Structure 1
Amino acid sequence: MDGTVLIADDDRTIRTVLTQALTRAGCRVHATGSLAQLSKWVEEGRGDLVITDVMMPDGNGIDRIPAIRASRPDLPVIVISAQNTIVTAIRATEAEAFEYLPKPFDLPDLMGKANQALSRRVRRSDPTPDTPVASRDAADPAMPLIGHAPAMQALFRMAARVLNADLPVLIAGEAGVGKTTIARSFHDLSERREHGLAVLTSADAGEDSVLRAVEKARGGTILIENPVGFDAAAQARLIGMIEAMESGPDRAMAPRVVSTSGPDPQADVASGRLRSDLYYRLAGVTVTVPPLRARVDDILPLATHLLARAAAQGLPERTLGDEAASMLRAHPFPGNVRELENNMRRLALTASGPVITEAEMRETLNQQGAARPVPLPGGVIAGSFGASAEPPEPMVMPAANARLSDSVEAHLQRYFDLHGDALPPPGLYDRILREIERPLLQVALDATGGNQLRCADLLGINRNTLRKKLTELNIEVARRRKLM
């Protein structure tokens, strides 16, 4: 690796670690805790690459990128930030940063990005004026839009790339993960936010409602909530609506279509619950929202955010005690972020003091679990197997000490019961194995820090077999060698 790297970060430890790593790699490094000093070096013509934090004592690193591009169009900028929200990812993308990495970052990953940036300098013929990127700080990054987990960061990057594209977006995931919040962010954070947002649900999908939605969302966005729940006639109307918007005389002001679905919309197509021609019109880009159990490191930051939001809404201010935090982090959260939010609001209201205790957390989680509906195969709402959008009645979870086979049997029996006298769609064996195999691989990878050799040894399979399965199941692997 060859070149001069300019580092701006107010954390001395990060500056030291990056300086040492880049120097060992063959680079010359200038490091500072000030954006003013960084700007001075850029203006003097120093540096072949900039690595900058976002929140600095004398400004915002993303806001400096337009000025850097104006004076040095060929100087790539890598943004690193502890502000792990979708807003940060979008602002970094809009500022045309070379790369955005959340803190704590994986050092080898950052070094790889730095090598790429130094190997192919970004050249621009038309630098933009020296003006800050349009601020999104006023937009409230609601709780599911916070996340450091690799799956959430991948979601943020995808959202930033397609935010202002004309492609329809399908947002898939289990119940309670925040699909609607994310869907609304595609409108609220986009260039269409000055125009209308109309929401269509299965409860209001008549012909008049569809026409009103198109008129209200002119130039804006139409959000279709769970099209699987629409009957055949309503799905046909949605197809007609999309075709009319794409080919009509007013197509220049046609709304963008964003929709939500269960975790496996293709299985819904295979089962006949979702028309294939509607699915392909909705899934220009598919964004999958991970369940909370797949982003364990996000649970405590989300909980803190939700407690602060509850306090801002008039509830007492609360913080988590260490034991309560450990218990919360170990909870499986079948209800995902929605369950977490309910728990935090309940604790904000019922806790006896400013610090939530282990006993209070245990009581709240036990109350939540007493009447929790059983998540079905393919997701909390059985989206992968063609069951109804919501279970017709609550069902108690198997006991915490139940065998795995007991839990699986309870899930499967519930799934068969939902079909009444009819049988589930063919291919059940392969679908069940796929639903079990994916979480097994994900949990094993997480336990081994993303080390595929150790994971294969843990599972008792060949490393090549593991790699093949990860590719087939589209499971992203991220080594967890964190900087700090």
Structure 2
Amino acid sequence: MDGTVLIADDDRTIRTVLTQALTRAGCRVHATGSLAQLSRWVDEGRGDLVITDVMMPDGNGIDRIPAIRSARPELPVIVISAQNTIITAIRANEADAFDYLPKPFDLPDLMSKAGQALARRPRKATDSSQQTGDTVMPAADPAMPLIGHAASMQALFRMVARVLNADLPVMIAGEAGVGKSTIARSFHDLSDRKDNGFAVLTSADADEEAISRAGAKAAGGTLVIENPSGFDAAAQARLIGMVEAWESGRDRLRAPRIVSTMGPDPQADVSAGRIRSDLYYRLAGVSITVPPLRARVDDIVPLARHLLARAASQGLPDRMLSDKAASVIRAHPFPGNVRELENLMRRLALTSAEESISEAEVADVLSQGSASAIPVTVASVSTREPSPRGEPQPSMPSLQPLPPAGAKLSDSVEAHLQRYFDLHGDRLPPPGLYDRILREIEKPLLQVALDATGGNQLRCADLLGINRNTLRKKLTDLNIEVTRRRKLM
């Protein structure tokens, strides 16, 4: 390997390791903890390769790439970052970085990338917007838990970054709860279509009028089709007709990009006849598979902490994980994937007695089922810990009997709440009671309303007197599966 490498990283250890490895490989190395110094070296014409961190004391490494491109178009830049998010991968790709590696990176992998970069110069940007310093990159969105150091997630991030603004349809496959809908939304929010229409189409509302309305709403933007294999034969035929009209019709320039979500094995759905093969191949221009959480164990704890921070930003108590609590969470298989993990972290944020969530609290919640709503019945209350001084605890007070069948709803709710308070004896329940009780009432209300309307979300939203988008978000947050069961006359 031959050439001069410029390294910018505020971590002295990383600078030392890279300097030693590249020097042994035959390179000349200049290392700094300052982007300003890096810029001076570039302006002076030094270096055949730049390796830069993102978050530096005097700026953002990715933000410097357009200036490097302008001054030295032939100079390749490899980005390394501890911010292992889809946003970082997309920003590095849009800035025309030679490559992006998450920290902690595999040294042989970085050396291989450095060798490739020194052996050949990167492609030159054809889009003039990539060569100016005026482009505003999207900021990280705390609402999107798309983070991960695992190789499978980094490969997914790179694929999303490469096809983000392509006109090809995208099919996202994976188990329930892995974040397919979040990734589908990112194809709109992070793309150059973000200022145009966006619509989501589900099998619950797939009649001809609903499909036409969704297509019109998404014009020029993005149409997300959730689980098209769940659509009946007539609805699938209507989808094919709509796609064909967009491909050849006079409005094709305003056709939305189609992003669909599927189960873990779309080909099996085709073989079983659950989705028409001609529809499948129209939707699978690019196929992306999202790995289950159990396949990226090292991502569980960082993701859990991210979700705790997001919960705090939404008004829940600000909590942190103790190391022992993090170990318990890491060992859990999470059959419900990211959705189950998010429900667990929100529940712990509400029920933890201290700012730091303990190992016992995690174990207690997991033993009850982390994806379920927080119960307020007798069976939900765990055994109380002995007092710090080993003193005997006061005996449990007698519980108020539940009202007889036929009593008013308010009487039944009051009786259940009183029993919940009585179970805590002379202590108050954990903070956050208001939100816990509302969620406990909200889930069965939505489930009963959906059942009464045959799974029709539009009718259900009208029945409840809420916006349909609000209903959809609540169904997702509460992990309520929607199945359309019957037609309403």
TM-score for both structures, normalised by structure 1 = 0.75
Give the deviation of 1:324 after TM superposition: 1.1
Aligned to 1:481: none
Aligned to 1:152: 153
- Alpha-carbon distance in 2 for matches of 1:125, 1:279: 34
Do the aligned partners of 1:82 and 1:104 also contact (CA within 8 Å) in 2?
yes
| 2:15 partner letter | R
Aligned to 1:254: 255
Once the two structures are overlaid, the 10-residue window that deviates more, 118-127 or 185-194, is: 118-127
For 1:407-426, list aligned pairs within 5 A.
none
Structure of greater Rg: 2
SS of 2:369's equivalent?
A: helix
Residues 368 and 265 of structure 1: CA distance in aligned 2, closer, same or farther (over 3 Å): same
SS of 1:203's equivalent?
A: helix
Residues 46 and 87 of structure 1: CA distance in aligned 2, closer, same or farther (over 3 Å): same
Higher-RCO chain (CA-CA 8 Å, sequence separation at least 6): 1
Aligned to 2:462: none
Aligned to 2:80: 80
Do the aligned partners of 1:173 and 1:262 also contact (CA within 8 Å) in 2?
yes
TM-score for both structures, normalised by structure 2 = 0.74
User: Which runs of 5 or more structure 2 residues have no equivalent in the other structure?
Assistant: 374-489
- Alpha-carbon distance in 2 for matches of 1:304, 1:163: 27
For 1:122-137, list aligned pairs within 5 A.
122=122, 124=124, 129-137=131-139
Aligned to 2:96: 96
Aligned to 2:43: 43
| 1:249 partner letter | R
Do the aligned partners of 1:94 and 1:133 also contact (CA within 8 Å) in 2?
no
| 1:291 partner letter | P
User: Which runs of 5 or more structure 1 residues have no equivalent in the other structure?
Assistant: 373-484
Aligned to 1:142: 144
Do the aligned partners of 1:63 and 1:132 also contact (CA within 8 Å) in 2?
no
Do the aligned partners of 1:85 and 1:141 also contact (CA within 8 Å) in 2?
no
Give CA deviations for 1:154-190 in whole Å, capped at 9, x if unaligned. 0000000000000000000000001000000000000
For 1:7-406, list aligned pairs within 5 A.
7-122=7-122, 124=124, 129-137=131-139, 139-140=141-142, 142-143=144-145, 145-368=146-369
Give CA deviations for 1:22-79 in whole Å, capped at 9, x if unaligned. 0000000000000000000000000000000001111111111111011101100000
Percent identity, aligned pairs only, is 76
| 2:288 partner letter | V
- Alpha-carbon distance in 1 for matches of 2:298, 2:10: 24
- Alpha-carbon distance in 2 for matches of 1:229, 1:122: 44
SS of 1:332's equivalent?
A: coil
Aligned to 1:426: none
SS of 1:10's equivalent?
A: coil
Give the deviation of 1:317 after TM superposition: 1.3
Do the aligned partners of 2:340 and 2:370 also contact (CA within 8 Å) in 1?
no
| 1:357 partner letter | S
RMSD: 1.5
- Alpha-carbon distance in 1 for matches of 2:370, 2:102: 33
Do the aligned partners of 2:172 and 2:262 also contact (CA within 8 Å) in 1?
yes
- Alpha-carbon distance in 1 for matches of 2:123, 2:320: 48
Give the deviation of 1:138 after TM superposition: 5.6
- Alpha-carbon distance in 1 for matches of 2:183, 2:142: 12
Give CA deviations for 1:366-421 in whole Å, capped at 9, x if unaligned. 1117989xxxxxxxxxxxxxxxxxxxxxxxxxxxxxxxxxxxxxxxxxxxxxxxxx
For 1:448-463, list aligned pairs within 5 A.
none
Give CA deviations for 1:256-315 in whole Å, capped at 9, x if unaligned. 000000000001001111111110000000010000001111111111111111111221
SS of 1:66's equivalent?
A: helix
Residues 310 and 343 of structure 1: CA distance in aligned 2, closer, same or farther (over 3 Å): same
Residues 370 and 294 of structure 1: CA distance in aligned 2, closer, same or farther (over 3 Å): closer
Aligned to 1:391: none
- Alpha-carbon distance in 1 for matches of 2:320, 2:371: 25
Alignment length, in residue pairs?
Answer: 371
- Alpha-carbon distance in 2 for matches of 1:139, 1:73: 30
